[in-house]
Amino acid sequence: RVRDSARGYDLTSTVRAGDQTKNIYTTVQNGSTGGTNGSTGSTGSSNGQLSVQVSPSRYDAQPGDQVSYTITVRNDSNRTAENTQLQFGYNPAQLSIYGTDGRNTGNQIVWDIGSLGAGQSRSFVVNGAVSPNTRNGDIVRTFSNVTATGVGGGSSSTDLRIVQILPQTGSDDEAT
């Protein structure tokens, strides 16, 4: 459990087994943490080399709402990452992308970052709109993956929950 005062903060858990290290990144939003167990939010992992974290502008949306994603890639190693590439995957039936400086291939945005020095980070923004065809309870999931030569990569997924405002029922007329 996380206190409400932690809302908006990023939590990092590090798991080590032998010479392997894995970082799990979770953003606390709206009183709950993100995860891959059906809850909404953002999770990420890295092997102690490159990490990628996605921060959406919202975790709940209605059909047609605009949403933006800030994707941050960080080199946690002590070596320069060469040929670094970031991929942001999405379902085009659920999310329309209208603003990014990356290369849109139809279901993913790709950035060829090049070199990323030890301890350096870079951030990218993707703007989009939730499809008007999404339904109450749908989950719009995006995936991010960063790879490079010379250091290990990392990945992240983010869930956006669709919440529709239901129509008012009953009559506006008072019975007399």
pLDDT value at residue 99: 85
Q: How far is CA 9 from CA 26, 44, 108, 133, in A?
A: 9, 14, 27, 32
According to the model, what pLDDT value does residue 103 have? Answer: 95
Candidates 31, 68, 65; CA nearest to 142 is 68
Sign of the Cα torsion 12, 16, 22, 24 reads negative
Could you count the other beta carbons within 10 Å of the beta carbon of residue 2?
13
Question: What is the mean predicted confidence (pLDDT) over 43-67?
Answer: 84
**In the predicted structure, residue 35 carries a pLDDT above the cut 50:** no
- What's the whole-number mean pLDDT along residues 96-124? 95
**Does the pLDDT value for residue 114 go beyond 50?**
yes
CA distance 6 to 31: 8
**Greater model confidence, 113 or 174:** 113
pTM: 0.70
Residue pLDDT, tens place only, 129-175: 999 999 999 999 999 999 999 899 999 999 999 998 766 676 666 55
Backbone phi, psi, residue 3, to 5°: -65, 150
Average pLDDT of the chain is: 79
- State how far the Cα of 86 lies from the Cα of 102, in Å rounded to an integer: 9
Instruction: Confirm if 72 and 53 have CB atoms less than 8 A apart.
Output: yes
User: What Cα–Cα distance (Å) separates residue 67 from each residue in 27, 80, 91?
Assistant: 17, 33, 14
- In this prediction, residue 40 has a pLDDT band, given cuts at 50, 70 and 90, of very low
Question: Per mean pLDDT, which of 33-42, 48-57, 121-130, 164-173 is the most reliable?
Answer: 121-130
pLDDT at position 36: 35
pLDDT of residue 61: 95
Burial per residue of 47-66, b for 16 or more beta-carbon CB atoms within 10 angstroms, e otherwise:
bbbbbbbbbbeebebebebe
Higher per-residue pLDDT: 97 or 172: 97
